[in-house]
């Protein structure tokens, strides 16, 4: 393949010989077209003479002064050459990134006299909603965003147009956009212009384009391609300053439909709409009325697809409304969701400026603004959610849904329903211990439109419990230990109040018995003297953005104190001695068991009831000489564990 070397401002690059070179300084109205190979030099401030509508992408190169930070997007690869002060943009068709990179790799600086520092990328603050509200008005669209002087010349009422359609993204977008910058958007928004945002991505598999410009015929793959295109479109929209609630339209040009082609297009637009909605934007589709319009209408109520929120249909019948179309039922997309392109490529002149445009009738409103101040305060197993509905919202309801984990539901029909009503707070119950929850809230206005979701995450926490001993004697002490952590990253909860809860073993009622501030490792402890067998649990009671938690249970058995005395300890055969003592706590009227060691066993030889002061006594008369061993046992009740006295011996001579 023959080649040529192109020079611009001390920078040289090698390109195919058949690429024409267009000098915009000499031809300032030339259209920088991406649908044909070329090399464009410089930047024109004049109104470009572009056709209204171009779809398709070839490969070529734009060399211009380095006045903005490079930003590569799908279909455009940019490099800043500081030593020459040049911004090089290689444009390419889908799948052509490698070839575009190879062209840029041939570049070299021959003269360093024009060195410019590469500008720093500045992030636009997305504040402009496209299109906010245009009821029964008109819009024009054109391939390249007009110059500022052209926009001023066409400003309503100089023309009948209040909105402009601009091509913000897409890997088969046909025109360069030298004018389309964040400042262009903010300037024209301040002057009253509204915007229709267009992405020209992959086309129908049965459309009239080369294979690399078409979406997959496999519905699942097409759906994924639609989601990817939407993510890229949102990135481009935000870089220009377009905020959530803006509608972005996927441009699907006319095609001759078949069953498989229809399935691919509907799947692509389903993925497109789903991804935009997930990110808080409105999913729109630009289609030919007789192709995409028919296919979308036929699947309007088909739950297998996510239909676009807004429909922009092309039917060049010169009927300047959005409803009179024989291909699209009037009962569909009725909630101010339509744009009708009623006239195709034609020239119009306003304020002395001629532009080749398409003309559109518009009937649109934006979805409602999101709630503000959405937050969650966690307790144990519950969370209090609060939000504020923006002033002036014609409220239908606030919808709140949740997922376990830290990823919220993407759409208001996904996840677990938490709330749907007109209040400003709600307590969610039944939340699982040691589990994180992600909540998303949407505003649905009185017309049924749903705004962007707003998220809050309630991070789960965990509390442990350990005891110094499993049981204590009555009056004894046990130390209960804990450590509290976050479930998302395992970090300790330091300097927070941790509560120790207790209930009697035979009770279901918990009470707080201690509150201790955790140390620098998230640990705390408390010394307790239970009087009855007691179940303990540590807990963190929650806070803003942290869900409370409870540890497992630790049961501390309390053994009553039982004394044992034998007097006298030595007797003659046939004489008696007394085995006596007391139980604390007293448990009057309960039974104690006198046991004698016989071989390896301790059979019971007598029983007695504790008196009103908890005392007992047994008269012992052994029947054989030698040493005899006795003890007393009190059996567990609901409050206390079994306890056994010390062993006492009597010597019989």
Task: Please state which of the ranges 124-128, 551-555, 584-588, 614-618 shows the lowest mean pLDDT.
Answer: 124-128
Answer yes or no: are the C-beta atoms of 37 and 58 closer than 8 Å: yes
Q: What is the predicted pLDDT for the residue at 113?
A: 63
Angle at the Cα of 356 from the Cα atoms of 355 and 358, rounded to 5 degrees: 120
Mean pLDDT of the chain: 95
Q: What is the predicted pLDDT for the residue at 629?
A: 97
| pLDDT tens-digit map of 518-548 | 999 999 999 999 999 999 999 999 999 999 9
Q: What is the predicted pLDDT for the residue at 593?
A: 98
* C-alpha span between 445 and 437 (Å, rounded): 26
Q: Indicate whether 53 pLDDT > 90.
A: no
Half-sphere exposure of 162 (CA within 13 A, CB side): 14
* C-alpha span between 69 and 48 (Å, rounded): 23
* 268: nearest Cα among 223, 305, 233: 223
* C-alpha span between 368 and 386 (Å, rounded): 18
Q: Indicate whether 117 pLDDT > 70.
A: no
Q: What is the predicted pLDDT for the residue at 270?
A: 98
Q: Indicate whether 324 pLDDT > 90.
A: no
- Give the global pTM: 0.85
Bond before 346 cis per omega within 30 degrees: no
Task: Please state which of the ranges 107-111, 122-126, 356-360 shows the lowest mean pLDDT.
Answer: 122-126
Q: Indicate whether 125 pLDDT > 80.
A: yes
DSSP secondary structure letters along 5-45:
EEEETTEEEEEETTS-EEETTTSTT---BTTS--EEES---
Q: What is the predicted pLDDT for the residue at 405?
A: 96
Bond before 157 cis per omega within 30 degrees: yes
Structural element, H or E, at residue 481: strand 478-486
- The two beta strands, 76-81 and 86-91, are antiparallel
Answer yes or no: are the C-beta atoms of 249 and 286 closer than 8 Å: yes
Q: Indicate whether 122 pLDDT > 70.
A: no
DSSP secondary structure letters along 124-159:
----B-TT-EEEEEEEEE-SSPPPHHHHHHTTTTTS
* pLDDT level of residue 115 (50, 70, 90 thresholds): low
Q: Indicate whether 149 pLDDT > 90.
A: yes
Task: State what percent of residues in the chain have pLDDT above 90.
Answer: 94
Q: What is the predicted pLDDT for the residue at 175?
A: 94
What tokens were used for 499? 């509560």
Q: For the residues 506-517, what does the mean pLDDT come to? A: 97
* 86: nearest Cα among 60, 59, 104: 104
Torsion of CA 233, 234, 236, 237, to 10 degrees: 110
DSSP 8-state assignment for residue 291: I
Q: What is the predicted pLDDT for the residue at 112?
A: 80
Q: Which residues contact 105 (CB under 8 A, 6 or more apart)?
A: none
Number of H helices, E strands in the chain: 6, 43
Q: Which residues contact 108 (CB under 8 A, 6 or more apart)?
A: 11, 12, 13
What tokens were used for 222? 């097409």
DSSP 8-state assignment for residue 423: -
Q: What is the predicted pLDDT for the residue at 524?
A: 98
Q: Indicate whether 507 pLDDT > 80.
A: yes
Q: Given the structure tokens 């259209």, which residue do they identify?
A: 31
| pLDDT tens-digit map of 370-405 | 999 999 999 999 999 999 999 999 999 999 999 999
Q: For the residues 193-205, what does the mean pLDDT come to? A: 97
Q: For the residues 200-210, what does the mean pLDDT come to? A: 95
Phi then psi for residue 582, to 5 deg, are -145, 165
| pLDDT tens-digit map of 22-41 | 999 999 999 999 999 999 99
Structural element, H or E, at residue 299: none
* pLDDT level of residue 121 (50, 70, 90 thresholds): low
* C-alpha span between 343 and 336 (Å, rounded): 21
Q: Indicate whether 318 pLDDT > 70.
A: yes
DSSP secondary structure letters along 593-653:
EEEE-BTTB--EEEEEE--TTSEEEEEE--SSSEEEEEEEEE---SSS--EEPPPEEEEE-
Q: Given the structure tokens 């104690």, which residue do they identify?
A: 592
* pLDDT level of residue 69 (50, 70, 90 thresholds): confident
Q: What is the predicted pLDDT for the residue at 119?
A: 65
Structural element, H or E, at residue 225: helix 219-240
Task: State what percent of residues in the chain have pLDDT above 70.
Answer: 98
Q: What share of the chain is helix, strand, coil (3-state, %, to 5)?
A: 10, 40, 45
Q: What is the predicted pLDDT for the residue at 111?
A: 87
* C-alpha span between 364 and 337 (Å, rounded): 5
């Amino acid at each position: 393949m023959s080649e040529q070397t192109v020079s611009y401002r001390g920078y040289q690059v090698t390109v195919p010989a058949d690429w024409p070179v267009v000098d915009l300084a000499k031809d300032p109205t030339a259209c920088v077209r991406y649908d044909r190979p070329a090399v464009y030099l410089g930047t024109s401030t004049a109104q470009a003479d572009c056709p209204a509508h171009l779809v398709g992408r070839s490969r070529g190169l734009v060399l211009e002064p380095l006045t903005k930070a490079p930003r590569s997007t799908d279909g455009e690869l940019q490099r800043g050459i500081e030593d020459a002060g040049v911004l090089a943009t290689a444009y390419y068709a889908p799948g052509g990134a490698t070839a575009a990179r190879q062209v840029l790799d041939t570049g070299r600086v021959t003269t360093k006299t024009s060195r410019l520092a590469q500008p720093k990328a500045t992030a636009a603050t997305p504040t402009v909603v496209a299109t906010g509200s245009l009821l029964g008005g008109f819009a024009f669209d054109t391939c390249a965003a007009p110059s500022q002087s052209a926009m001023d010349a066409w400003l309503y009422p100089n023309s009948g147009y209040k909105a402009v359609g601009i091509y913000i993204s897409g890997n088969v977008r046909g025109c360069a956009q030298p004018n389309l910058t964040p400042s262009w958007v903010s300037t024209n928004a301040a002057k009253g212009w509204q915007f229709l945002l267009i992405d020209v991505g992959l086309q129908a598999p049965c459309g009239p384009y080369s294979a690399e410009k078409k979406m997959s015929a496999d519905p699942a793959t097409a759906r994924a391609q639609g989601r990817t295109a939407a993510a890229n479109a949102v990135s481009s929209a935000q870089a220009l300053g377009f905020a959530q609630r803006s509608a972005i339209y996927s441009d699907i040009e006319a095609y001759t439909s078949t069953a498989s082609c229809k399935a691919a297009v509907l799947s692509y637009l389903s993925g497109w709409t789903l991804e935009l909605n997930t990110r808080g934007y409105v999913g729109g589709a630009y289609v030919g009325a007789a192709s995409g319009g028919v296919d979308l209408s036929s699947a309007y109520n088909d739950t297998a697809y996510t239909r676009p929120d807004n429909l922009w249909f092309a039917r060049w019948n010169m009927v300047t409304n959005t409803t009179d179309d024989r291909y699209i039922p009037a009962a569909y997309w009725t909630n101010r969701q339509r744009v009708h392109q009623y006239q195709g490529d034609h020239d119009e002149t306003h304020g002395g400026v001629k532009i080749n445009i398409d003309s559109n009738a518009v009937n649109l409103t934006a979805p409602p603004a999101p709630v503000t101040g959405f937050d969650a305060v966690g307790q144990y197993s519950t969370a209090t959610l609060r939000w504020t509905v923006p002033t002036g919202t014609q409220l239908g309801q606030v919808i709140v849904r949740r997922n376990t984990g830290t990823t919220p539901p993407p759409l208001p029909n996904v996840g677990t329903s938490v709330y749907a009503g007109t209040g400003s707070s709600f307590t969610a119950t039944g939340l699982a211990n040691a589990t994180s929850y992600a909540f998303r809230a949407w505003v649905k206005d009185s017309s049924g439109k749903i705004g962007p979701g707003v998220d809050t995450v309630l991070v789960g926490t965990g509390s442990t419990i350990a005891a110094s001993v499993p049981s204590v004697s009555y009056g004894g002490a046990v130390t209960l230990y804990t450590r509290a952590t976050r479930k998302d990253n395992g970090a300790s909860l330091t300097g927070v109040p941790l509560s120790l809860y207790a209930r009697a073993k035979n009770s279901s009622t918990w009470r707080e018995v201690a509150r201790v501030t955790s140390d620098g490792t998230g640990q705390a402890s408390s010394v307790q003297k239970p009087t009855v067998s007691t179940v303990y649990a540590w807990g963190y009671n929650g806070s803003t953005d942290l869900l409370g938690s409870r540890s497992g249970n630790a049961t501390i058995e309390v053994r009553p104190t039982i004394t044992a005395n034998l007097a006298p300890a030595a007797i003659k055969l046939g004489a008696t001695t007394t085995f006596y003592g007391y139980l604390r706590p007293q448990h009057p009227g309960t039974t104690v068991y006198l046991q004698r060691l016989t071989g390896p066993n301790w059979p019971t030889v007598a029983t007695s009831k504790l008196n009103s002061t908890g005392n007992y006594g047994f008269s012992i008369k052994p029947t054989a000489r030698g040493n005899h061993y006795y003890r007393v046992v009190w059996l567990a009740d609901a409050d206390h564990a079994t306890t056994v006295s010390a062993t006492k011996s009597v010597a019989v001579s």
